[in-house]
Chains A and B, each alone.
Chain A
């Protein structure tokens, strides 16, 4: 039950390399002397545009971007592109979640409709709808490419993305292309799926998207919609979550972070389950780390009709005094229909 269909050509592309993991030396031997450090710093500062004498291609890009940012800021200040639209859901988010009529009602009741647009190089991206809970948000947006561009590929991604609630907040996100009812036109709808350790409702999500790309017939990446679009999305949707207090505190353990935490309550919404634990212990290296590195298959939800939801998309985060585990369902659940929640093989009991 995954909602990620991103192109992932290079299986090692997300691999995290750390020398500590190897018995034999992997990296070549080399050092950086002080003079080289200074030359490199100067070079980087030139690229960033902090040196007045620098006239590099990167600086030109910086200025262009600055102009776009300034333009967007002006538009936002004067309200030219930000408006809350009185529209009904077009069902694309509901279709993505495979929602039936009842579930769609749940979504419609909690969806926040927006019409925040940004245009660059003749192409417009418009944020349409937002739905979610306290820790998960799904942002639907339309991409309307400049005249003459046909968006008919099965997948698209952005070359540059920046999605942030607040610096330092553990969070994860990915994009989905929603069902396209007309592959011959210049429009597609996409969904940003975002999960966050900090509560998101009532806050503003900063989003920057740059250069929409796909693959050509030869499998080579190709930018089809050049541009950069920037948004500040106010997250004002209705809360769908219920907080359930556990009968007994639950110990969650994360070997990769070498941390343990105590959870006293969990938050469940139709789209996700969130556990936030207060850190208090550190992992004992002698314990079996293998088991606890992966929480993906450790949550099983049983519904009234006997159906079981498992193998959920999960994310873990650790920051300050808290450790979080967030499961996105990829479908809509009626919280009232949940009869059993098992975590790490143990049924959770609630007060």
Chain B
């Protein structure tokens, strides 16, 4: 990528462009094709800028690109008023204490990863669609053929498990 940026970018777009597009339209389902392409270009631009920060040991390149795509799409959604969801915070879980005082960022990331992936299906999918991809309850309900109340109940269970896990690590109410 560094020695031959044009070739490296072309290969990256060829290999991961489809995945990046899918992440973006999962977050921006009503965006027109020009906006989607602009977002994809922003993702690979940011990828190019931050290639030195990519750490293969802490996750795959797919993970890394998904993270950038999510950030770009959520940013776009905020700027265009399409995003009605605020990030999932400790306060939303009912925790008033500062999480950073109890666990490091790495510990927090590991704990969230483990807790979310341990949720049973379809709770895991619902949680990720809501809090990672910022989808509306109604969109998730339609996608998974559930009613909205069932989606909300499962989100509540997921939040509770995450809250319990954080409390076990010393984050107080």
Task: Using CB atoms and an 8 Å cutoff, list the residues of chain A in contact with chain B.
Answer: 2-18, 21-24, 26-32, 36-37, 39-41, 43-45, 47-48, 50, 58, 161-162, 164, 167-168, 170-172, 174, 197, 257, 293-294, 296, 313-319
Which chain B residues border A28 with CB–CB below 8 Å?
22, 25-26, 29
CB of B162 within 8 Å of the partner chain? yes
CB-defined contacts of B109 to chain A, threshold 8 Å: 14-15
Once the chains bind, are B57 and A170 in contact (CB under 8 Å)? yes
Across the interface, do B45 and A8 meet the contact criterion of CB distance under 8 Å?
Answer: no
Q: A26-B26, A47-B42, A48-B9 are in contact. List 10 more A-B contacts (CB 8 A).
A: A2-B100, A3-B104, A12-B116, A23-B121, A40-B44, A45-B5, A162-B50, A313-B107, A317-B57, A319-B56
Specify which of B18, B59, B87, B103 is in contact with A32 (CB 8 Å cutoff).
Answer: B18
**Interface flags, B129-150, vs A, CB<8A=1, else 0:** 1011100000000001000000
Of B23, B57, B105, B132, which is within 8 A of A15 by CB? B132
Are B107 and A318 neighbours in the complex by a CB distance under 8 Å? no
Contacts of B58 in A (CB 8 A): 170, 172, 317
Residues of A within 8 A of B22 (CB): 27-30
Q: Is the interface of B mostly helix, strand, loop or mixed?
A: helix
Residues of chain A contacted by B23 (CB below 8 angstroms): 17, 27
B67 within 8 A of A: yes
Given the known inter-chain contacts A30-B18, A37-B17, please indicate yes or no for A14 contacting B108, CB distance below 8 A: yes
Docked complex Cα distance between A168 and B51 (Å):
10
A-B contact pairs, 18 of them (CB 8 A): A2-B102, A4-B106, A5-B100, A11-B108, A14-B105, A17-B23, A18-B66, A21-B117, A24-B125, A27-B22, A29-B22, A31-B21, A37-B13, A170-B57, A174-B104, A313-B104, A317-B58, A319-B56
List, in ascending order, chain A residues with CB within 8 A of B124's CB.
21-23
Minimum Cβ distance to chain B for residue A288 (Å)? 13
CB distance from B37 to the nearest CB of A (A): 6
- CA A36 – CA B128 in complex, angstroms? 28
Check if B9 sits within 8 Å of A45, measured CB to CB: yes
Interface string of B90-115 (1 = CB under 8 A from A): 10010000111111111111101110
Q: Answer whether residue B83 sits at the interface, using C-beta atoms and an 8 A cutoff.
A: no
In the complex, which residues of chain B have a beta carbon less than 8 angstroms from the beta carbon of A7?
100
Contact A17 B70 (CB under 8 A): yes
Closest CB of chain A to B130's CB: distance in Å? 9
- Complex contact A17–B67 (CB within 8 A): yes
- Residues of B with C-beta under 8 A to A5: 98, 100-101
Query: Which of A8, A40, A168 contacts B41 (CB under 8 A)?
Result: A40
B56 touching A170 by the CB < 8 A rule? yes
State whether A26 touches B129 (Cβ < 8 A): yes
Residue among B60, B108, B162 facing the most chain A CB atoms (10 A cut-off): B108
Residues of B contacting A2 in the complex (Cβ-Cβ under 8 angstroms): 100, 102-104, 107
Most buried by B among A24, A170, A317, A318: A24
B60 touches A8 (CB 8 A): no
Count of inter-chain pairs, beta carbons less than 8 A: 190
Q: Flag if B63 contacts A50 (CB, 8 Å).
A: no
Most chain B beta-carbon neighbours within 10 Å: one of A26, A45, A47, A58: A26
Complex CA gap A26/B66 in Å reads 13
- State whether A14 and B112 are in contact (beta carbons under 8 Å apart), knowing that A36-B37, A37-B17, A40-B44 are contacts in the complex: yes
Residues of B within 8 A of A168 (CB): 56
Complex Cα spacing A5 to B93, Å: 19
**Given contacts A37-B17, A40-B40, A48-B45, are A6 and B66 in contact (CB under 8 A)?**
no
> Which of A10, A164, A296 touches B52 (beta carbons < 8 Å)?
A164
Nearest residue (CB) in A for B65 is: A17
- A296's nearest neighbour on chain B, judged by CB, is B107
> Do B25 and A172 touch (CB < 8 A)?
no
CA distance in complex: A50, B45 (Å): 12
Structural contact, B6 and A50, CB atoms closer than 8 A: yes
Question: A9, A40, A162 — which one has the most chain B CB atoms within 10 A of its CB?
Answer: A40
Q: Would you give the 0/1 interface string for B21-64, flagging 1 where the beta carbon is closer than 8 Å to chain A?
A: 11101100100000001101110110010101101111110110
Nearest B residue to A20, CB-CB: B62
Q: Does B173 contact A (CB under 8 A)?
A: no
CB distance from A225 to the nearest CB of B (A): 20
**Is the CB–CB distance between A43 and B38 below 8 Å?**
yes
Contact across chains for A27 and B26 when beta carbons are under 8 A apart:
yes
Given known A-B contacts A13-B87, A32-B21, A172 and B55 have beta carbons under 8 A apart: yes
A145 to chain B minimum Cβ distance, whole angstroms, is 23
Q: Is the CB of B45 within 8 A of A47?
A: yes
Q: In the assembly, what is the distance between CA of A184 and CA of B10, in Å? A: 50
Q: Which residues of A contact B116 (CB under 8 A)?
A: 12, 15
